[in-house]
């Protein structure tokens, strides 16, 4: 299987499933200049450690853009025929938006992202956590997060050229368009 495709390559999986590793492998295989859009915010020591782990794996020549909220804007700013953009990860971005408790911001940013992906079909690898395989969360915010992630994932999967589910480091290709 060719590691690089043009258009949207969507990689889902649970925590530590290998989704970031395969995304980085596919990015390297593209032969393009890599722009890595990191959505995480270092709000505590544990997240700082996760961010440091991801930074340590990336080649120094990759351009890193930290953008926790305005993802479509960052995609537009860095989209180019000779670039591949790797976004890691959509669920952190979604969490950042939901925690702002600003419904208008949430709607603007999610709509902007989906519109951009639909209209421009950039060369992008999108990484996200699959959250809908577990029990229904108890809290209202947690339930909304799982619902919003599921709807976002469905919308992106419909637009993607390839969708891969990672389980225990193994890729299961759910969709691949030529």
174: CB partners within 8 A, 6+ apart: 157, 163, 164, 165
Q: Is 54 a catalytic residue?
A: yes
Q: Which residues of 63-87 are buried (b: 16+ CB within 10 A; e: fewer)?
A: eeeebbbbbbebbeebeeeebbbbb
Who's near 106: CB < 8 A, 6+ residues apart? 97, 98, 100
Catalytic residue among 53, 54, 61, 83: 54
Write the CA distances from 28 to 36, 54, 99, integer angstroms. 12, 15, 33
**Comparing C-alpha atoms, which of 3, 171, 1, 163 is closest to residue 90?**
163
What is the chain's alpha carbon radius of gyration, rounded to the nearest angstrom? 15
Catalytic site residues?
54
């Amino acid at each position: 299987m060719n590691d690089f495709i043009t258009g949207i390559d969507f990689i889902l999986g649970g925590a530590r499933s290998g989704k970031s590793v395969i995304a980085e492998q596919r990015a390297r295989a593209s032969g393009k200049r890599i722009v890595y859009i990191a959505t995480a915010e270092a709000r505590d020591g544990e997240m700082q450690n996760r961010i440091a782990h991801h930074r340590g794996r990336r080649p120094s020549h990759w351009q890193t853009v930290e953008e926790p909220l305005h993802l479509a804007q960052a995609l537009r700013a860095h989209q180019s025929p000779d670039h591949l953009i790797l976004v890691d990860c959509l669920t952190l971005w979604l969490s950042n938006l939901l925690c702002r408790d600003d419904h208008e911001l949430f709607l603007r940013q999610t709509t902007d992202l989906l519109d951009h992906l639909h209209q421009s079909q950039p060369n992008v690898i999108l990484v996200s956590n699959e959250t809908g395989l577990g029990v229904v969360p108890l809290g209202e915010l947690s339930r909304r997060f799982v619902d919003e992630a599921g709807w976002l994932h469905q919308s992106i999967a419909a637009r993607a050229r390839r969708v891969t589910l990672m389980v225990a480091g193994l890729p299961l290709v759910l969709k691949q368009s030529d």
